[in-house]
């Protein structure tokens, strides 16, 4: 059986990843794909406990390295328990955040050595790289306001707007550096349904192109001059 497809949604807080990753999962399932959704931090039972420690405002004394390693630990468990088994079974996995979040938030946002962040993530993910990453781009003030809504901000959301602005700029730079993997969908003042339509178009086009390429490869002599 061929390996499944790994699609991630990334973006600043409140850009709509949770909403959109659920809608995308449902759209793919309706179209007949075998699809599973996961999220970070907290996509596994162990991960949920790690998430509580990271986001609790009582963890205010947590240093950046601890924070970074906890996200990596959560990711390692998600890869081990959810993502790798689903890909091995040929399923589509939709990840609401993956290692790009650590590069944007801990690397560029907190100012940690980006190469070190990549190196530790390569261990946590066992070298797994998403096939497609959809970046939902949003102005950080709108995003944080949407993410918090009526509830109190968590430890990361409480950071200054400059932190969230540097996360957003990092994401845009990362997308420009890897145009083959990233697609940027601007949220702006588009409705949830409008953003969904843009993501859906992007993902279905990607899956169709991938299926055509696979068919071409499996035909003996195809592509030969």
- The residues binding ligand ADP (CB under 6 A) are 13-19, 146-147, 149, 187, 190-192, 195
Instruction: Tell me the closest approach of the beta carbon of residue 191 to ligand ADP, in angstroms.
Output: 6
Instruction: Tell me the closest approach of the beta carbon of residue 108 to ligand TYD, in angstroms.
Output: 11
Binds 121: which of ligand ADP, ligand TYD, none (CB < 5-8 Å by kind): none
H/E element, 183: strand 182-186
- Nearest to ligand TYD of 3, 49 (CB atom): 49
Q: Are 82 and 36 in contact (CB under 8 A)?
A: yes
Q: What residues between 161 and 200 interact with ligand TYD by CB under 6 A?
A: none
Instruction: Tell me the closest approach of the beta carbon of residue 147 to ligand TYD, in angstroms.
Output: 4
- Nearest to ligand TYD of 32, 149 (CB atom): 149
**Peptide bond between residue 201 and the one before it cis (omega within 30 degrees of 0):** no
- Nearest to ligand ADP of 10, 67 (CB atom): 10
Sort strands 5-10 and 92-96 into parallel, antiparallel or unpaired: parallel
Q: Of 13, 78, 131, 139, which lies in the binding site for ligand TYD, with binding defined by CB under 6 A?
A: 13
Q: Of 10, 21, 41, 182, which lies in the binding site for ligand TYD, with binding defined by CB under 6 A?
A: 41
Buried b (16+ CB within 10 A) or exposed e, 35-49: bbbbbbbbbbebbee
Buried b (16+ CB within 10 A) or exposed e, 139-175: bbeebbeebeeeeeebbbbebeeebbebbbebbeebb
Binds 16: which of ligand ADP, ligand TYD, none (CB < 5-8 Å by kind): ligand ADP
47 binds ligand TYD (CB under 6 A): no
Binds 191: which of ligand ADP, ligand TYD, none (CB < 5-8 Å by kind): ligand ADP
- Nearest to ligand ADP of 80, 146 (CB atom): 146
* Strand arrangement, sheet containing 5-10: 35-39, 92-96, 5-10, 132-137, 182-186
Q: What residues between 128 and 167 interact with ligand TYD by CB under 6 A?
A: 147, 156-157
Interacting residue ranges for ligand TYD, rule: CB under 6 A:
13-14, 17-18, 40-41, 71, 97, 101-102, 105-106, 147, 156-157
């Amino acid at each position: 059986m061929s390996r499944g497809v790994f699609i991630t949604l990334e973006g600043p807080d409140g850009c709509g990843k949770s909403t959109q990753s659920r809608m995308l999962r449902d759209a793919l399932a309706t179209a007949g794909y075998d699809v599973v959704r996961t999220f970070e931090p907290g996509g596994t039972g162990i991960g949920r406990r790690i998430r509580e420690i990271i986001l609790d405002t009582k963890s205010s004394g947590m240093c950046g390295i601890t924070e970074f390693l906890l996200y990596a630990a959560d990711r390692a468990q998600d890869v081990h328990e959810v993502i790798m088994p689903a890909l091995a079974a040929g399923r589509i996995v939709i990840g609401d955040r993956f290692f790009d979040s650590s590069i944007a938030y801990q690397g560029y946002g907190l100012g940690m050595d980006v190469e070190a962040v990549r190196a530790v993530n390569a261990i946590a993910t066992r070298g797994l790289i998403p096939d497609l990453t959809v970046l939902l781009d949003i102005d950080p003030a709108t995003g944080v306001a949407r993410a918090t809504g009526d509830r109190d901000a968590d430890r990361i959301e409480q950071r200054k707007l400059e932190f969230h602005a540097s996360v957003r700029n990092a994401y845009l730079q990362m997308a420009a550096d890897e145009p083959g993997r990233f697609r940027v969908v601007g949220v702006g003042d588009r409705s949830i349904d409008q953003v969904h339509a843009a993501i859906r178009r992007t993902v279905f086009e990607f899956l169709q192109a991938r299926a055509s390429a696979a068919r071409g490869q499996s035909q003996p002599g195809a592509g030969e001059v």
